[in-house]
């Protein structure tokens, strides 16, 4: 039996702000969206141009405070062929939250505080 990762979900407080961030910072584009008939939630799937993996953003109308991310010991990793240009973009966006120059990686924060690891293609 084989399994393939389809998507990863995160909940977001401000959907529009998150959509702008993910497009600008990582080039992710909206693939599809589901709006609850009663307006209680919106689910948006984002994709890059190269893989089948999707990032699912869920907005809940009833959520009125930032999400508790615990100890922030989880992250999503992204690889790029143009690591230096990505670093400059993220530096200009002021979203770099941690660098490990020895390992040649860094992390950025999305608007809700989720950590996103940026790796060069090796």
- Looking at residue 98, what is its pLDDT? 96
11 token code pair: 């909940």
Helix axes 15-26, 83-93, angle to 10 degrees: 150
Q: Does domain 7-62+73-120 have CATH number 3.10.180.10?
A: yes
Answer positive or negative: Cα dihedral of 99, 21, 60, 45.
negative
Res. 3: pLDDT tops 80: no
Query: Domain extents for the chain?
Result: 7-62+73-120
Answer positive or negative: Cα dihedral of 93, 99, 78, 36.
negative
Query: Over the stretch 61-105, which tens digit does the pLDDT of each residue have?
Result: 999 999 998 877 789 999 999 999 999 999 999 999 999 999 999
This prediction's pTM = 0.92
- Looking at residue 71, what is its pLDDT? 79
Confidence of residue 119 (pLDDT cuts 50, 70, 90): very high
Q: ∠ CA(17), CA(107), CA(109), 5° rounding?
A: 25
- Looking at residue 1, what is its pLDDT? 87
- 72, HSE (Cβ side, Cα atoms, 13 Å): 13
- Looking at residue 4, what is its pLDDT? 84
Residue 89 parent element (H or E): helix 83-93
* Tokens 């009663």, located at residue: 38
Structural contact between residues 50 and 91, judged by C-beta atoms closer than 8 angstroms = no
- Looking at residue 17, what is its pLDDT? 98
Res. 110: pLDDT tops 80: yes
Query: Over the stretch 18-65, which tens digit does the pLDDT of each residue have?
Result: 999 999 999 999 999 999 999 999 999 999 998 889 999 999 999 999
58 token code pair: 């869920």
């Amino acid at each position: 039996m084989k399994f393939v990762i389809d998507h990863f979900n995160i909940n977001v407080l401000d959907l529009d702000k998150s959509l702008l961030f993910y497009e600008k910072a990582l080039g992710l584009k909206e693939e599809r969206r589901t709006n609850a008939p009663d307006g209680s939630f919106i689910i948006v799937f984002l994709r890059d141009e190269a893989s089948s993996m999707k990032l699912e953003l869920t907005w809940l109308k009833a959520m009125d405070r930032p999400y508790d991310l615990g100890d922030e010991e989880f992250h999503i990793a992204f690889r790029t062929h143009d690591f230096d240009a990505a670093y400059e973009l993220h530096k200009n966006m002021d979203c770099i939250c941690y660098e490990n120059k020895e390992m040649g990686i860094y992390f950025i924060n999305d608007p809700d505080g989720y950590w996103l690891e940026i790796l060069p293609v090796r």
